[in-house]
């Protein structure tokens, strides 16, 4: 079959003098693949809900390839960041997201670009799904002028339209997220705010204040706990009196979701967004997920968990492998196709790395800018009284 296609495409190329043959191959294999399939997904545990998200998810070929591409891009980007950190080209704090890709990809698949999202410091994946290029993310990590925050923010402080970072203080982003949800309600454009936090932050008091106000005022806030089982070096059992994070909102309905399955995450987020948009108030999702790296690049990640545990998750529950196997088993794509996508992504990440390592650092003139918004230029004191620096908005 393949040889025949090659002969036809070569013949077409000679006749038309163009690469029409390529189109022949693609359209031929397109008809070969299953365009859409339905998959069984894990039922969510429910709290204060009569019914939950569906237990079957539909996936088109396009969607599948897109989710694969998103997750693989995040994966390769994070691994590149690991490499650059070890080469000391990235410095300071660096909290990597590999293992948790299904969360970011699944959430983005279920919300609109006009919805809002805020998370904590393990933010590179969300920065990407919310629209920032790999190039701008890596350049921010390397502290260059082409970074999304001009090199001034670093790993934990990246922003984009409708994406509010990137926040360094554990739990502090949750009241901010509730506030964004208030703004959504106030402006009446049917938008929701996705407010993410981890299992470590789940014990912060400020979350409970946010839960109270969001429920009281029926704010369109989707609180999402990414439970990766460890708050830095402390396992959930050692930190929380109740590890049922989806129930911790008490009077707020909750879902516990398989965070390693991008389809599960998508369906649950869709359900949650519908709930909020219908004016029913906030909802909590707990995504059960896992990080392969330690808490940050200065944590080897094996003093408080075993290598066997990490290996087991990698081999049995890797989100990217799971999606790929599903699509292959249902003949929705070919092994070659995935390989090609992988090659493209590798190239994309390499190009981004090239930029991120060659772009110059920010100019010193930038040092004092962006203190105030919409302000006339002001003078800023430098390290001594004779050092008078300039700040513009």
Partner 1 sequence: MRDFHRSAPAAVQMTVRDALNQAMDEELERDERVFLLGEEVAQYDGAYKVSRGLWKKYGDKRIIDTPISEINVLLQAGLRPICEFMTFNFSMQAIDQIINSAAKTYYMSAGLQSVPIVFRGPNGASAGVAAQHSQCFAAWYGHCPGLKVVSPWNSEDAKGLLKSAIRDENPVVVLENELLYGVPFEMSEEAQSKDFTIPIGKAKIERQGNSITLVAHSRYVGHCLDAAAVLAKEGIECEVINLRTIRPMDVESIETSVMKTNHLVTVEGGWPQFGIGAEICARIMEGPAFNYLDSPVTRVTGVDIPMPYAKILEDHSLPQVKDIIFSVKKTLNI
Q: Which residues bind partner 1 (CB under 8 A)?
A: 91-93, 140, 143-144, 147, 149, 151-157, 167-172, 200-201, 203-206, 231-234, 238-240, 303-304, 361-362, 364, 366-368, 371, 380-387, 389, 391
- List the structure tokens of 376: 């006339």
Query: Taking the complex as a whole, how short is the minimal distance between the CB of residue 153 and partner 1, in angstroms?
Result: 6
Q: Which is closer to partner 1, CB of 187 or CB of 383?
A: 383
Per-residue H/E/C for the chain: CHHHHHHHHHHHHHHHCCCHHHHHHHHHHHHHCCCEEEEECCCCEEECCCCCCCCEEEEEHHHHHHHHHHHHHHHHHHHHHHHHHHCCCCCCCCCCCCCCHHHHHHHHHHCCCCCEEECCCCCHHHHHHCCCCHHHHHHHHCCCCCCCCCCCCCCCCCCECCECCCCCCCCCHHHHHHHHHHHHHHHCCCCCEEEEEECCHHHCHHHHHHHHHHHHCCCCEEEEEEECCEECCEEHHHHCCCCCHHHCCCCCCEEEEECCCHHHHHHHHHHHHHHHHCCCCCEEEEEECCCCCCCCCCCCCCCCCCHHHHHHHHHHHCHHHHHHHHHHHCCCCCHHHHHHHHHHHHHHHHHHHHHHHHCCCCCHHHCCCCCCCCCCCEEEECCCCCCEEEECC
Q: Which is closer to partner 1, CB of 6 or CB of 378?
A: 378
Q: Which is closer to partner 1, CB of 207 or CB of 332?
A: 207
Query: Taking the complex as a whole, how short is the minimal distance between the CB of residue 235 and partner 1, in angstroms?
Result: 9
Q: Which is closer to partner 1, CB of 287 or CB of 297?
A: 297
The candidate with the shortest Cα–Cα distance to 112, out of 249, 295, 245, 274, is 274
Q: Which is closer to partner 1, CB of 91 or CB of 330?
A: 91
The count of other CB atoms within 10 Å of the CB of residue 23 is 12
Q: Which is closer to partner 1, CB of 45 or CB of 366?
A: 366
Query: Taking the complex as a whole, how short is the minimal distance between the CB of residue 157 and partner 1, in angstroms?
Result: 6
Q: Which is closer to partner 1, CB of 167 or CB of 269?
A: 167
Query: Taking the complex as a whole, how short is the minimal distance between the CB of residue 187 and partner 1, in angstroms?
Result: 28
Q: Which is closer to partner 1, CB of 182 or CB of 232?
A: 232
Query: Taking the complex as a whole, how short is the minimal distance between the CB of residue 246 and partner 1, in angstroms?
Result: 18
Q: Which is closer to partner 1, CB of 280 or CB of 370?
A: 370
Q: Which is closer to partner 1, CB of 201 or CB of 327?
A: 201
C-alpha to C-alpha distance for 299 and 96, rounded to whole angstroms = 11
Query: Taking the complex as a whole, how short is the minimal distance between the CB of residue 302 and partner 1, in angstroms?
Result: 12
Query: Taking the complex as a whole, how short is the minimal distance between the CB of residue 304 and partner 1, in angstroms?
Result: 7
C-alpha to C-alpha distance for 255 and 269, rounded to whole angstroms = 10
Query: Taking the complex as a whole, how short is the minimal distance between the CB of residue 348 and partner 1, in angstroms?
Result: 24
Query: Taking the complex as a whole, how short is the minimal distance between the CB of residue 206 and partner 1, in angstroms?
Result: 8
The count of other CB atoms within 10 Å of the CB of residue 344 is 13
The count of other CB atoms within 10 Å of the CB of residue 211 is 21
Query: Taking the complex as a whole, how short is the minimal distance between the CB of residue 174 and partner 1, in angstroms?
Result: 12
The count of other CB atoms within 10 Å of the CB of residue 313 is 17
- List the structure tokens of 281: 């108030």
């Amino acid at each position: 079959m393949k040889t025949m296609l090659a002969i036809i495409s070569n013949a077409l190329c000679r006749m038309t003098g163009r690469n029409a043959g390529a189109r022949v191959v693609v359209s031929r294999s397109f008809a070969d693949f299953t365009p859409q399939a339905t998959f069984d997904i894990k039922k969510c545990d429910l709290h204060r809900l009569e019914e939950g998200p569906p237990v079957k998810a539909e996936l088109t070929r396009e969607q599948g390839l897109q989710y694969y591409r998103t997750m693989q891009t995040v994966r390769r980007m994070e691994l590149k960041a690991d490499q650059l950190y070890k080469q000391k080209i990235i410095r300071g704090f660096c909290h990597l997201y590999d293992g948790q890709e299904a969360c970011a990809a699944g959430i983005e698949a279920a919300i609109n670009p006009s919805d809002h999202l805020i998370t904590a410091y393990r933010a590179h994946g969300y920065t990407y799904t919310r629209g920032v290029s790999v190039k701008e993310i890596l350049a921010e990590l390397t502290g260059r002028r082409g970074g999304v925050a001009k090199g001034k923010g670093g790993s934990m402080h990246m922003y984009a339209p409708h994406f509010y970072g990137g926040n360094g203080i554990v739990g502090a982003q949750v009241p901010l997220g509730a506030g964004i949800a208030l703004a959504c309600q106030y402006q009446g454009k049917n938008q929701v705010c996705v407010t993410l936090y981890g299992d470590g932050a789940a014990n912060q008091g400020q979350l409970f204040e946010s839960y109270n106000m969001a429920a009281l005022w029926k704010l369109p806030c989707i609180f999402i706990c990414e439970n990766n089982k460890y708050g830095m070096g402390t396992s959930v059992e050692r930190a929380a009196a109740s590890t049922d994070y989806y129930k911790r909102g008490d009077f707020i309905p909750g879902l516990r979701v398989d965070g390693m399955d991008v389809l599960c995450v998508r369906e649950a987020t869709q359900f949650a967004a519908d709930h909020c948009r219908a004016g029913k108030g906030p909802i909590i999702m707990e995504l059960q997920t896992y990080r392969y790296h330690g808490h940050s690049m200065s944590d080897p990640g094996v003093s408080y968990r075993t290598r066997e545990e990490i290996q087991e998750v990698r081999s049995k529950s890797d989100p990217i492998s799971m999606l790929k196997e599903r699509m292959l088993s249902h003949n929705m794509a070919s092994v070659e196709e995935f390989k090609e996508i992988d090659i493209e992504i590798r190239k994309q990440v390499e190009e981004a790395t090239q930029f991120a390592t060659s772009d110059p650092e920010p100019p010193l003139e930038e040092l004092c800018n962006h203190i105030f918004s919409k302000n006339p230029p002001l003078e800023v004191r430098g390290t001594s009284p004779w050092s008078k620096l300039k700040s513009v908005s």
